[in-house]
Each structure stands twice: as structure tokens, then as C-alpha cells.
Chains A and B, each alone.
Chain A
Amino acid sequence: MTKYTPPVQGKFGQIVDVIVLLVMTIGALYVPLWMGLAGSAHTSSVPENPTWESLGQNPVMVEKWNQLGYADPASAAELITARFDYSFSVGSLLMMIIVIVGYYAIILRFSENEYREVISEKFGGK
């Protein structure tokens, strides 16, 4: 196995690589945010004229809400009735599984090729 000599990267190339990485990183977080896809579905069904009883709160809970600064049922109603929506489709679940498994498969495969090259250069051919 011949020894691989990498090219030396100049200042300009280094800066370009850093900028490429930065754009990709910030994109990964902000694109879902901008597209409004982020966050889980959150619904609140506040009843009209809520009372502590209709919100299912017992006296101890009411006392705690009061201590926390929610003096009347109406102010706490939105917090109390907030629920996540956990419904999902089998299709999107399968999609996710394929994406995750596929991702690791690609990584492990490419890594293996690169690793064999490293080992044979380090320890010499068999």
C-alpha cells in the first residue's frame, strides 16, 4: 500500500469549508422553523366560563395554582387543557425508520471502506 499524501489546504480553502459547514448547520435548525413545521401539535380546548371543578382540579391543586399566581380558573385554563396530539400515520413512521436505518447504513459502509485503507497503510498490506 503506497502512502497517501494529502494536499495542503490553503487559507482560502479553509475559510470556504468553514462557511459551507456553517450554512448547512444553521440551515438544519432554521429551515424547519421558517417553514413553520417545528414543534409538536398543541391544542387547548378552553371551556366557556371555566371553573376549577370543570377543569378537574381538587382543592389542593387550586391552592397550588393560587400560590403560583393563577388567581382564577380562567387564567390557568389554557395551561390545564393544553394537550399534545400524538396521532401519526404508519406511512410517516416507516419513512422515519427508513431514513434512520439508511443513514447509519450509508455511514457504516463508507466508514468501513475508509477504515480498511487506514489500517492497511498503518500496518502494511497482508
Chain B
Amino acid sequence: MTDFDITSKTIDGIGPHGAKIGLLRVLGPAHVWALGVGIVLVGEYMGWNFSVGKGGAFAALIACWFAGILYTCVAMIDSEVTSTVAAAGGQYTQAKHIVGPLMAFNVGLYLVFAYTMLEAANAITVGFLMDTVANMTGHEGLDQRPFIILAIMFLAWLNYRGVLATLTFSLVITAIAFSAIIILFLFTSPLLGSDVLQHQALMTDLPYGWLGVLAAMHFGLWYYLGIEGTTQAAEEVRSPARALPFGTLAGIMTLLIAATLTWYVCVGLMPWEYLGQAGVPLFDAARLSGSTFLMVLLGIGTLFATLASANGCINDASRAWFAMGRDHYLPSWFGAVHPKYRTPYRSIIFLVPIALVFALGAPLDQVITFSILSGLLEYTFMPINVIMFRKKWPLDTIKRGYEHPFHPIPAIVLLSLCGITYFAVFLGYGTQLVAMIAFYIVVSLWFHFRRYRFVRRAAQFTMPWPRPQGY
């Protein structure tokens, strides 16, 4: 590990408000890309295929593209706001400056839960993959728990040791996992002369009709869930106003390509009834291609994608938790930065056992649904956020690193797609949805009437902006 202080002389450690230590500004646009894509790419290796089960192969493609539109709106809106509000905590800090403290507290919790549950889902998949490989080599009944725990402990340790090494690791394994998808596509597609894909024979009509297409939106989000996490790196990126929009928008483009290719290859190789319930669909696709090379490659790709995702999740969840601790939204104890590694180490440690509880104790689709719901609540907040942002600070009042086009159309599209997705979740997991919102209502009341008394009022507004219009 290199000496971190070399690059840190200029900004951190000599903060104007008497800060003695801070997070370290060492990341470039490639790390932002790796953080965003790394978290999400695992969605191509597992989970997206439940949308096939929900509505059939075509429904999954429609859901994939509509979710793509949803996330393009998310990425554009996020890029604009975050290129201005560059601080750890991402959307939490945005909400604090633009909507208000209680919204910010809720957004912070959405972030932490979406990422921690996704981390748990990844660890479960690591265990499942190990079991699958063990079965293929003739070993029955592998104990998955040590592998689940090891994945979480190793990545927590990596995150604890410093952000540069963590995200460089993510960059490398994400690039490998992404290349694996491209290679699988090239080797199975007619481009290279092989004809293993059997779309004509395997595609069926919509088994549930158009209602199934709506239902598929639920897991359609899984193709992209987490791309908005790029903003968590804001306080550790060398030039946030440039690197964050660039990394985020490049990330969403990468994912649109990967998602479509994944769909194309998988539905050309598996009957939809199997695909809709498969645990590791891309690995299955590689097995069916009949090539040992592809099978090994996609096995490694699956492992790397889950690790990159869990890695990014630990990074993002701990930043959000840390930022809330720093503002006393949560006990201030969590707002600590490690003096040597410059990471929010107490938040990282605290979230480990929570991830373990869910990884070891809850079924995969529940954990995924918990994560998707938290994400969905967050995406509903975004259009509200950006409309208020443009109203309180019109374009000519503060400098923005990136201005998203066609305002307010992206906000309205995003809100409508969120509405559709709520309906999709309602079709299968209505009880969870209500339980989840009940949880957020209870927690909000707790915050408003008890916790908020420990928060300094003016001090939490840290951006050097003018007074918002209309206040």
C-alpha cells in the first residue's frame, strides 16, 4: 500500500473550519465508473432474470429498456445535483440542502438499506456459486456460510484499509466481469459463426399478457440498481464537478449495453421457465454454450461481479452512515475518520454484522426486494429533489458542473416510471411494501420528535450557496 499522504497535501487536513482530518481525495473518473458499474453489474449475473419469471422473455426486455429510461433520468438528475453538492452522503446531502432534514434522514436510510441488503444478496450469491461449483466437482452439501462470511469480512477489511485500493480493486474485477459478458456474447452470437442461440424455438408469447410486463418492472430495476451510488464518492474524488457526471453517465451507458447483451444471450439459450428461476443465469448460459473456456470465464465473472458489487456497497453504505453521523442525525460516534487510512472506519465496522445477519438469515428474493424497495423510494425522491432544486436555485444563481437537458421532462418520466414500479412490486410483494413504508413512517416520527434535537440547525447547511428563492 502506498503512502496516502502524497496526494493529500492540498485539500484535506487543513480544512478552513478547523478540520484536522478528512476523507482523502484520490479518485479519478475511472474509479467513479468502477464504483457505479461495479455495484450494478452483478445484476446482470443474477437477479434480473426473475423479471423473466414475472412476465416472460419479451416482458423482461421491455422492462429492461423501460428501467433503462428510468435510470437514465436518475443518472442525469443525479449528475446535475451532485456536480454541485459534492459531499460524502450523496443524495442524503442533496436532500439536506434542498428538501429538508427529515427527507434527508429518510434518504440516508434508503441508501444504507439498499446497499447493505444488496451486499447481503451478493454474499448469498457467492455462497451459492461455491456450492454450484462444488456440486459440479462431485462434492455434495457444501457449507456455504464460511464463504458468505469470508466475502463480507475480506471486503470490509479492504474498505477499512483505504478507498484508493478498494476502488482500484473494484475497477479491475469490474472490467474483467464486463469483458466476460462481451466475450460470451461474441462467442455465442452469429458474428463469429456459431449458432448455439435458438431464439426462434425458445421465445414464447407473453405468458401473463401485458400485466406480466408491468410485473416484470419489479426486477427490471435490478439490471441497474445502484448506479446512483457514484455520488457517494464525491468527497474522495479529485474533481467532483467533472468526474462524477462523466463516471455516472459512462456507467449507465455501459450498463445499457451489458443488460441488453445479457438478455439476448440468455433467452437464446434457456427456456424462460428455467431462466425465470435460475440462481446464476449467465453462468448457466455459459454452461449451455458447450465451451469449457466460457464456463470458467463466466464463473469467474460471476464471482468478480458479486465481489465488486459487495465492495461498492460497503463503500457507499458506510459513506452515507458516516455522513449522517457527522451531522448528528445518527449518534455522532459514527462520524469518525481513521487518522491513517482516512476511511469512515466506525461506520464500516458497524454495518458488517448487519450485513451478516441478513446474508445468513434471510432468503435471497426477500433481501433483493428489500433492496429494490429502498432504491425505489429513493428514485421517487429524486424528481421532487430536482424540481425543488431548480426552483430554489434557478440556473443563473449557482454554478453547476453539469446541467441536465429538457427539465422537467426527465423528472416527470422518472416519477411516472416509479409509479409503475410501485404497482409491479404491489403485484407480488405488497405486504413487504406496506411493512417497509410503515417502518419508514415510524422511523421518521422517531427522528422528528426525538433524534432531531441533537442536530445543529444552520451548521448542517454547508454549501456556499445564496439564500434559496422563496425563503
Contacts and interface: CB of A to CB of B under 8 A. Distances in A.
Given A6-B328, A17-B330, A115 B274 contact: no
Interface string B317-341: 0000000000010111100000000
B277 A82 contact: yes
Main secondary structure on chain B at its contact with chain A?
A: helix
Given A17-B451, A37-B431, A116-B471, A107 B357 contact: no
B427 A68 contact: no
A71 interface: no
A80 B23 CA distance: 52
B16 to A, nearest CB: 17
B330 A58 contact: no
B7 interface: no
B333 to A, nearest CB: 5
B426 A88 contact: yes
B113 interface: yes
B365 interface: yes
Interface majority SS on A: helix, strand, loop or mixed?
Answer: helix
A119 B465 CA distance: 11
B428 A84 contact: yes
Contacts of B453: 6-7
Contacts of B202: 60-61, 64
A53 to B, nearest CB: 14
A6 B328 CA distance: 10
Given A6-B456, A18-B331, A84-B208, A122 B113 contact: no
Contacts of B357: 26
A54 interface: no
Nearest to A68: B274
Interface string A101-121: 001101110111111111111
Interface of A: 3-9, 11, 13-15, 17-18, 20-22, 24-33, 37-40, 57-61, 64-65, 67-68, 76, 79-80, 82-84, 86, 88, 92-93, 95-96, 99-100, 103-104, 106-108, 110-123
8 contacts: A6-B454, A13-B331, A60-B198, A64-B270, A68-B270, A86-B211, A113-B100, A118-B101
